[in-house]
Amino acid sequence: MDRALKLLTWPAALFIAGILLWYEQFKLTGNQGSVDLFQTLADWLFIPSYEKPFRLGVAIAEIIASVLVVIPATRVAGAAFALAIMSGAIFFHVASPLGIDPYNDGGVLFKQACAVWASAAYILFAYRAEATMLVRRFVPA
């Protein structure tokens, strides 16, 4: 059973990487929708002149998580990183002026953030022993 759970992390990891990397084209090229989204967040956080570093920082973090999650030796770290990033994304969609549906498309961005979060959580569940060791390594007792 444990082997089957771990084998199924491949599609989850590829899904995470696919979704995260798809949106990099918008963040990295300064697509107006992406700029508007991050400007809304920057304004809400009272750092209006930091839209670009905020947007590019998130893009870089997502690229790193995407690479880590598809490499079997770093899959747990990549899943943990993706889970953390998507927790932030979900929080901002729920708590900030962004809302669940910032592009009036039925909340596609929010739904994909939730799906990536769930996929990352699944990987961490499948590798729960390794995830526990990772936490113990970086968090003092």
The per-residue pLDDT for 55 is: 98
Band of the pLDDT at 27, cuts 50, 70, 90?
very high
Rounded CA gap, 23 and 140, in Å? 35
Q: What is the pLDDT of residues 74-101, one digit of tens each?
A: 999 999 999 999 999 999 999 999 999 9
Q: Which of 37, 35, 28 is nearest to 57 (CA)?
A: 28
What is d(CA 61, CA 68) in angstroms, rounded to the nearest whole number? 11
- 64 closest CA partner among 74, 50, 53: 74
Q: Give the pLDDT mean for 33-38.
A: 96
Please say whether the beta carbons of 77 and 124 come within 8 A. no
